[in-house]
Amino acid sequence: AVCSMGNSTSRLYSVLAKTLSSGAVSQHQDCLEQLDSAHLDPIDPKDLLEECQIVLQKRPPRFQRNFVNLKKNTASNHRPIRVMQWNILAQALGEGKDNFVQCPMEALKWEERKCLILEEILAYKPDILCLQEVDHYFDTFEPLLSRLGYQCTFFPKPWSPCLDVEHNNGPDGCAIFFLKERFELINSANIRLTAMKLKTNQVAIAQTLKCHETGRLFCIAVTHLKARTGWERFRSAQGCDLLQNLKNITQGAKIPLIVCGDFNAEPTEEVYREFSNSSLNLNSAYKLLSPDGQSEPPYTTWKIRPSGECRHTLDYIWYSQHALNVNSALGLLTEEQIGPNRLPSFNYPSDHLSLVCDFSFNQDPDRLL
């Protein structure tokens, strides 16, 4: 059933309505054929935001978060590139497997949670959006974001845990969306990560883009590594495989790189050290919010499961520190904002916080290290 849209008669009604009800895996191809973005008119993000707010009118307003200015006294001759990283929580997992014991099932209804996710994306207006746990790509994110001007790519997990949930919407996976008015796709690679020479269930997407404004090339990658305690060596092996792929794609760091992901790893883990010490000369953008610029945030996910409270730093935006500057980063939600029942909630749609950074190219493109 499609939920009420109130009294709105906006031309977007039919667009949102089509994405509100969950579809079976067999419907995906039908959905793609029906909603081929090439045959749909562009939509104004303000109109879509208004539609979402009508759906969400009985929910509390979204949290306010502020950007922290990190820009040094280096002038930039181009508009910054805004990158958003977010594990949005697969709908099938939220409802069927993740056991958020303090989160009412009512708060997880896709009809409304979808609009909370869209509201967050529309609020920050990323030039590039990197998502994990996407299980409503074909019926929601691709048809809507393509009409907002994004080019969309999705790579599902081979054996998604979503498929074990009754009434699922297909497999979850990683997705990249970039604004076509700002970038041209030069190359795209779907990577199935290996560990100990074995193919695994975790994936990555790496795309080389050309910035229209500067003519500069850069690579954007998204990944979601293996979860759970006890799999640290496995994550380390996956990280090594991803780094090797990215070295090849960036020609050994000649092309600047941004890697977004839910690494399912605290900064104390080996895979974190591998990225920190890689020959790709990567730094973690959110470290720059700390007083010394060396410490990760205290948490990027905070939830309560039957086993207890889980408060961890697992999500990162890595970048080539020789070629890119971080102009600003979006501050995290405070403990007071998150509230005693933690995430997800009626206020916030995922158990992970979104990370958003504004990047600019270093003005000396030949200075690699």
Dist. CA 20–CA 43, nearest whole Å? 17
Domain count, the chain: 1
User: CA–CA separation, 130 vs 175, rounded Å?
Assistant: 6
* Residue 199: inside a domain: yes
Residue 65 lies in a domain: no
User: What are the residues whose beta carbons fall under 8 Å from the beta carbon of 70, sequence distance 6 or more?
Assistant: 288, 289, 326, 327, 328, 329
Q: Among 106, 105, 104, 102, which residue's Cα sits nearest to residue 304?
A: 102
Q: Which two tokens stand for residue 344?
A: 């997800």
Q: Is residue 253 part of a domain?
A: yes
Q: 297: domain CATH number? A: 3.60.10.10
Please indicate, yes or no, if residue 58 is contained in any of the structural domains.
Answer: no
64 in any annotated domain: no
Cβ atoms within 10 A of the Cβ of 192, count? 14
Residue 55 lies in a domain: no
Mean pLDDT for each 10-residue chunk of the chain (369 residues)? 37 56 42 53 94 95 92 79 98 86 91 97 98 97 97 97 94 98 98 96 98 97 97 98 98 96 98 98 97 95 90 97 96 94 94 97 63
Residue 269 included in any domain: yes
3-state secondary structure of 212: coil
What is the pTM for the complete model shown?
0.90
Instruction: Please provide the distance, in angstroms rounded to a whole number, between the alpha carbons at the two ends of the chain.
Output: 56
Read off the tokens for 14.
Answer: 């039919």
Torsion region of 215: left, alpha or beta (phi above 0 gives left; psi -120 to 50 gives alpha): left
CA–CA separation, 316 vs 181, rounded Å? 26
pLDDT at 101: 84
Instruction: Give dist(CA 67, CA 4) in Å, integer.
Output: 34
Per-residue model confidence (pLDDT) at position 18: 58
Nearest to 272 by CA among 243, 250, 302, 239: 239
Q: Is residue 336 part of a domain?
A: yes
Q: What pLDDT, on a 0 to 100 scale, did the predictor assign at position 218?
A: 98
Positive or negative: CA dihedral 131, 48, 151, 356 = negative
Cβ atoms of 188 and 207 closer than 8 Å: yes
| pLDDT at residue 363, rounded to an integer | 78
Residue 152: domain span: 80-364
**What is the pLDDT at residue 9?**
37
Residue 163: CB atoms within 10 A of its CB come to: 16
Q: Tell me which H or E stretch contains 280.
A: none
The string of DSSP codes covering 79-139 is --EEEEEEE---HHHHHHTS--TTS-GGGG-HHHHHHHHHHHHHHH--SEEEEEEES-III
Q: What is the pLDDT of residue 62?
A: 87
